[in-house]
Amino acid sequence: MKTYLGSIGLLLFALFSVVAGAQTTREVKHSPGAGQFATVQAAYDVSASGDTVLIIDNSAPFVETVNINRTGITVKGDPSLDPRPTVTAASPGLWHAIVGTGTNNTVENLILVGGDWSCVDANAGGLMTLRNCKISKGAATAVYAEGPTLNLIDCLLTEGPCGLKIIGAGTVTLTGCTVTGNATREIIIASTASATLNLNSTLIMAAPGAGDAPWHRLIDHDPGLTYHLNVDNCTLASGGASVTDIGIIARDGDSLSFMNSIFYNMSTTLNVGGTPAALIENYNAYQKVLNTTGSYGTAGAQSLNLADTDPLFKDAAAGDYRVYSSSPVAKLNSTGTPAYAGSAGVYQCVNQWKNVNVPNVHVSAPVIDGTINDSEWADAVPIVMNHANMLASFGFAGAATNATDADFSGTYYFLWDAQYLYGAAKVNDAQVVYLQDQAHASGLNGTDAAQFILANESAMTGAAGGAGQYIFDFAPGFSDATSTAGFFQHWNSVSAPNTLVKSRLVTGGYEVEFAIKWSDLTSMPITPAIGTKLGFVTLLINKSTPAADDFWFTADAATIWSDASTWNKFTLTGAVPVELSNFSVE
């Protein structure tokens, strides 16, 4: 038992009690020591407002029903444990893993498994919050909401007949949650009185295969009832091959609001049985034209939406409905059109190169000879620029021509030491347009090139080309395609005389290696050290014909030159190879 003092004064305490003003953390484990508890319920029953019940054991599930019937207590799994501790009611005679009848209680960082009725029963009482929990199974539903206020934050609701069943007249709010993999309905409103459901930054998805049942519904609604539904910054998606899922069931008198959200791959997006009291739809995107059964009525506004728009999900087939920042629906403005300067987004916008770790050279620096040797670059994190990772090419002065990865794609590698930042680019290019000679190197984007932006972290502001921002083009070969390369810089006039660069033509493209000396970057010096952060963008330029250039970017194409704050970041790390910090949410 750990005791934390919250006030100054005389403290008298015994094994299981504290005086007013103190907050106690009570530890739970299967083989308890002095001051510890063998069950969650035993620890909870001697707790008071402000206390924490901390489960520090993940060696086996705690098989019990925990009755959360007091006020202001937190029950949580130790965040350092992987996997999280489990509380399960998967035993004959246990109806729920958690029953909430108290007020202002929090349950977090746990795996919760349901029993003969539900996994979590948020019953009468006041506010109950569940945070960072996997809530699964239950004979009727994963979460049963009866009380006046239930908040679910960063939770997964899955593996039940439905994920959430609302029967009370209160307010249920999901923020940053995923509801998926439930047998017939993801959410059902079966309240005997008007309830409110708020969905914020949440994914509701019929798991692949679930759509084969023609009556699977994402949000269902029993007849004879009314409710308020607010959907903001969410994705609702069908994963079924037959695309027969129904998105939302609405009935006479309901109040509905859909804002900044994606509705994807459903045979009927909204099934209206009657006339809603209000129906507002603004700044949404539909993978198909909004399919509606029933009447909208006259009380709503339907405007500023994108119809028949492919949101370019990362991998919808695998159930990954995050969108990259380059998605046409990633940011919508008040006109309902893509606007990268806008603040609205849908579900999670991700840039998979937003944070990249660059390992230190721990044996010997790579030889800059234009030949990318696997042993030299083995510790570097590959930045793969192709159709799968970039999602869309950005054509200039004509249609984009990079139809396949063989036509145009590539991979960057980076390492560092106290003297240099080392880089390499292996580029697939069906038609290499290489540099004529160094005298022609001043032509902006005049040749195929591996382009690279490097910046002092404090210089990641304003338009590109300012102090502390260094923009290089590394162009393959000269007119005789020897193993030499040219380079020049855009806008920033730092000469970088000690830069090393070599390239060579290879079958299907070219390779280029370069080394940028830290001491040449003088307009806003960079001191290399473990933990140093740098702004960066990698680009590839494909000059296939004079009329059509193709570009790959690892940053937002619409803001790359106007807003340096949208660039990616390098973190210089130690000698031990570190994996890429993938899919950082913007």
Count CA atoms closer than 13 A to 443's CA, side-chain side.
14
Residue 445: what pLDDT?
62
pLDDT tens profile 370-395: 899 888 898 887 888 876 565 443 33
Cα separation, 255 vs 228, whole angstroms: 5
Residue 97: what pLDDT?
95
- The token pair that represents 185 in the structure block: 């309905």
- The token pair that represents 362 in the structure block: 């721990």
Which residue, among 77, 17, 76, 69, has the nearest Cα to 47 in the 3D structure?
Answer: 17
Average predicted confidence (pLDDT) for the chain? 77
> Does residue 303 carry a pLDDT above 80?
no
- The token pair that represents 468 in the structure block: 């502390």
Which segment of 109-123, 132-146, 242-256 scores lowest on mean pLDDT?
242-256
Question: Phi, psi at residue 279, to the nearest 5°?
Answer: -145, 105
Cα separation, 164 vs 182, whole angstroms: 9
CB atoms within 10 A of CB 72: 16
pTM: 0.63
User: Please, which residues have CB within 8 angstroms of residue 403's CB and are 6 or more apart in sequence?
Assistant: none
Count CA atoms closer than 13 A to 424's CA, side-chain side.
25
Report the share of the chain in percent with pLDDT over 70: 71
Q: Which residue ranges form the domains of the chain, and what is each CATH number?
A: 80-310 (2.160.20.10), 355-585 (2.60.40.1190)
pLDDT tens profile 173-199: 998 888 998 988 899 998 767 899 999
**342-357: average pLDDT:** 52
Question: In 275-407, which ranges are E strands?
Answer: 278-282, 285-286, 292-293, 301-303, 313-315, 320-324, 349-351, 355-358, 383-385, 394-396
**156-181: average pLDDT:** 91
> Can you say how many angstroms the Cα of residue 248 is from the centroid of all Cα atoms in its chain?
24
Cα separation, 306 vs 284, whole angstroms: 6
Question: Phi, psi at residue 44, to the nearest 5°?
Answer: -65, -40
Please give the C-alpha separations between residue 295 and each of 114, 194, 278, 348, 355, in angstroms, as whole numbers: 39, 21, 12, 32, 47
Residue 191: what pLDDT?
73
pLDDT tens profile 75-117: 999 988 989 999 999 888 999 999 999 999 999 999 999 999 9
User: What ranges in 256-372 are assigned the alpha helix state H?
Assistant: none
Q: Which residue has the higher pLDDT, 322 or 397?
A: 322
pLDDT tens profile 317-329: 777 777 655 566 6
